Amino acid sequence: MPKKATFQRFFPLTLVVILFAAPVVFAQQTVAPSPQTTTVQTPTPIVPVTYQPENIDPLQISIQGGGLWPSEKNDARLHDGGEVIGRLTYDLNPNLAIGAETGVLRFLDRSDGNTYGHLNGIPLMADLVLKIPIVATDNRLVPYIYGAAGPMVWHYDKSGYSDNSGVETRTRAHWAAKPGAGIEYYLNPHVAIFIEGSYLFSERFRLKDASSTPPNGKLDVDSTYGGGGIKIAF
């Protein structure tokens, strides 16, 4: 058979095969998904928020108030009073702080139904505070002990009797010391509430040396304090 006749016989069949095969190949190339890189994201672990003392701002200011109960040495001269104190402290580390405090103390001088006056005191003391954070409470609960020392400025306000009684009302300053302890609870790293107790030791305040009969004599200002307040770290 001549080659031309063979070509003419198989050419139509070859053309039909090409026409049907081309769309199939094209479709496979178009539809077949291209390989993609799958990114696996690791979930971020949930870490509980734990209070740490080192996260607190070291400079802290507190204000507190409470009652004063004089010692029994006063022969019922000084009666229960009150105290408002502000304290500024700086944490050297989570367990030790230094600071200073001031405020006002006030006692009522009263005996046998007679009110003689009020004794007011202004402390100007330096403080040393030892803190003991409790780990079991995520360090939010912090017991502490402290000591304060410095001058106490006293002033006696006369009232209820004549000025010719001879009572001296000048302002005097005596050295004083005050050990104490408390416990504070941090609501967050910047705010804490606390309760505190202390005992004040100070020289007797002298009204007049001539007599121990009211309203003269010396007033024993040694007293117990109990109260609470709020602290802010900034």
Domain residue ranges in the chain: 55-233
Residue 92 has pLDDT above 80, yes or no: yes
**pLDDT (tens digit, 9 = 90+) per residue, 38-57?**
565 666 554 444 455 556 68
More confident residue, 168 or 27: 168
pLDDT computed for residue 31 by the predictor: 47
Please indicate, yes or no, whether the overall pTM of this predicted structure exceeds 0.85. Answer: no
Whole-number Å distance between alpha carbons of 178 and 121? 14
Whole-number Å distance between alpha carbons of 164 and 144? 49
Residues in the chain: 234
Closest CA to 117 of 223, 224, 216: 216
Cα separation of the two ends of the chain:
107
* Contact yes or no for 202/222 (Cβ under 8 A): yes
Whole-number Å distance between alpha carbons of 90 and 86? 14
Whole-number Å distance between alpha carbons of 138 and 186? 10
Q: Which CATH fold would you assign to the domain 55-233?
A: Porin (2.40.160)
Q: What is the mean pLDDT of the chain?
A: 79
Closest CA to 218 of 163, 164, 156, 160: 156
